[in-house]
Amino acid sequence: MSHSEQQTGESVTIQTDQGLYVNPQALTAHLPALDYHDGALYMEQVSIADVVKHYGTPCYVYSKQAILDVYQAYSDSFASLTHQICYAVKANSNLAVLGILAQAGAGFDIVSRGELMRVLAAGGEAARVVFSGVGKTYSDIEYALTQGIGCFNVESISELTLINDVAQKLDKPAPISLRVNPNVDAKTHPYISTGLKDNKFGITHEDAVAVYEQAAQLSHIDIVGIDCHIGSQLTEVAPFVAALDKVVELIHNLRDKGIELRHIDLGGGLGVRYIDETPVSIDEFAQALLPKLSELGLTVFFEPGRSIVANAGILLTKVDVLKPTEHKNFAIVDAAMNDLIRPALYQAEMAVIPSVLPENGIGTDGTQPWDIVGAICETGDFLAKDRLLSLAVGDVLAITGAGAYGFTMSSNYNSRPRASEVMVADDSHQLIRKRETIEALYADEVLWQGK
């Protein structure tokens, strides 16, 4: 069967009493960077077996083309407006990823001095960077202003006055937006919902005009925009529209008070398909927002993170131990919650597919239900549960959708070095972060010298 034949009408998942079967070929049909050739997994034209041979496992692998294609889709969908796509660095902050996006003309959304330094090191322009986050410090602000940051997305009055103080000291006006909390339910996991009044983010919709008026009185504040970000992994367009409506109302109120803005920033949050979710497409998202946005006559900013990189990346991991028990089968792999915490932290369901298809073909035949777990000493250390797979020790598995919030959320828990990262483009591959050494994990530690 050719790949295209397999795409037609094949369902991605089969749920049985024993567990969930994710059909690898039907899944990859939705993932432009991945494909099977003669039963072996490829990213672009690079064989995953080759990647493993060169760089070992666990290893994150990203497709340059997949990153650029989504960036371009945003750009094309909003082509009728002056716009700036500020990629949210927290999703994947590898310098190679940032450099590829900077070259494509992207701006960036950052939340720390560290992220700004990464953007600059990767060739990004400070003037195309927006600085988000609830807890900016004096030195963060000083550094960002000195570098010529494009805009601070301000989340409180106390931050506003701090920015004014720093700007006064540097004698350099600070460009700002207020991040408005529109109190809209993003209908996503509670840990990644940010636009409800109970969340720590932003200035309430009700207070926004008064805070803008206060900002207008400050000597070194240059009001340039308005901002809102309501959450992440949103699959519907309605919450975005509801948030936009609230922001538009504020823009009109501000105009009435003589406060003119240059841009509106709608944040990030567009969801992706991990297994069989059906998120709104970038084009549908644009179609829903464009009519309201074009009336404003403002430059439009977006801060997408996940949607640009999630499906451009996979995490490769090798099966080290198979441990069937009376109640459960455990496949212990060489990646763990320290490498990919999304399943443990958000109960995220991510697809696990083999790098070589089983000989007996596809379907649930010959499969067993497995919990794919790491070697960390915690029951919460799992990457997937009850997945129907046909496994042998030494098999390499790919966890898809791992390009966003994968490596960036990884840690050294249990003194585990962080994984290597590799970029592929066409038929070439390159190491973009070498695997950490164990010595590096304690190189900055010092033995106690006292009594």
Backbone angles phi, psi at 132, to 5 degrees: -100, 175
* Among the residue ranges 27-35, 163-171, 302-310, 414-422, the one whose residues contact ligand LLP (CB under 6 A): 302-310
Edge-to-edge strands, sheet with 40-43: 34-37, 40-43, 46-47
Q: How far is the CB of 14 from ligand LLP (least distance, A)?
A: 26
- Tell me which residues in 222-251 interact with ligand LLP (CB under 6 A): 229, 232-233
Give whole-number Cα distances, 342 to 38, 348, 383, in Å.
31, 6, 8
Is-catalytic flag, 228? no
Return the number of the residue (68 or 270) whose C-beta is nearest ligand LLP: 270
Q: Does 400 bind ligand LLP (CB under 6 A)?
A: no
Q: How far is the CB of 351 from ligand LLP (least distance, A)?
A: 15
With H, G, I as helix, E, B as strand and everything else as coil, classify residue 100: helix
Q: How far is the CB of 347 from ligand LLP (least distance, A)?
A: 11
Structure tokens at 78: 């909003």
With H, G, I as helix, E, B as strand and everything else as coil, classify residue 446: coil
Q: Does 44 bind ligand LLP (CB under 6 A)?
A: no
Contacts for 372 with CB less than 8 Å, ≥ 6 apart:
331, 333, 352, 382, 383, 384, 385, 387, 389, 397
Return the number of the residue (150 or 305) whose C-beta is nearest ligand LLP: 305
Please report, as a single letter, which amino acid is at residue 73.
A
Pick from 118, 128, 318, 342 the residue near ligand LLP by CB under 6 A: 342
Q: How far is the CB of 175 from ligand LLP (least distance, A)?
A: 17
CA dist., res. 11 & res. 27, Å (int): 8
Give whole-number Cα distances, 307 to 91, 230, 233, 440, in Å.
9, 15, 8, 32
β-pairing, 263-265 with 299-302?
A: parallel
* Among the residue ranges 11-19, 42-50, 300-308, 369-377, the one whose residues contact ligand LLP (CB under 6 A): 300-308
Q: How far is the CB of 108 from ligand LLP (least distance, A)?
A: 10
- Tell me which residues in 154-193 interact with ligand LLP (CB under 6 A): 192
Return the number of the residue (108 or 370) whose C-beta is nearest ligand LLP: 108
- Whether residue 238 contacts residue 283, with contact meaning beta carbons closer than 8 Å, is answered with no
Q: Does 109 bind ligand LLP (CB under 6 A)?
A: yes
CA dist., res. 443 & res. 424, Å (int): 31
- HSE of 193 in the Cβ direction (CA atoms, 13 Å)? 16
Return the number of the residue (199 or 368) whose C-beta is nearest ligand LLP: 199
Q: Does 303 bind ligand LLP (CB under 6 A)?
A: yes
Residues 216, 222, 225: CA angle, nearest 5 degrees:
90
Contacts for 363 with CB less than 8 Å, ≥ 6 apart:
14, 21, 23
Residues 427, 433, 439: CA angle, nearest 5 degrees:
140
Q: Does 418 bind ligand LLP (CB under 6 A)?
A: no
Site string for ligand LLP, 115-154 (x = CB under 6 A): -----------------x----------------------
Helix axes 282-294, 238-256, angle to 10 degrees: 20
Task: Tell me, by CB under 6 A, how many residues bind ligand LLP.
Answer: 21
Return the number of the residue (306 or 318) whose C-beta is nearest ligand LLP: 306
- Taking alpha carbons only, the member of 40, 36, 64 closest to residue 50 is 40
- Taking alpha carbons only, the member of 248, 256, 259 closest to residue 300 is 248
In the set 86, 151, 228, 377, the catalytic residue is 377
Q: How far is the CB of 92 from ligand LLP (least distance, A)?
A: 10
Q: How far is the CB of 426 from ligand LLP (least distance, A)?
A: 27
- Tell me which residues in 245-284 interact with ligand LLP (CB under 6 A): 267-270
Pick from 30, 137, 157, 346 the residue near ligand LLP by CB under 6 A: 346
For ligand LLP, the binding residues (CB under 6 A) are 88, 91, 109, 132, 192, 229, 232-233, 267-270, 303-307, 342, 346, 405, 409
Residues forming the active site: 377
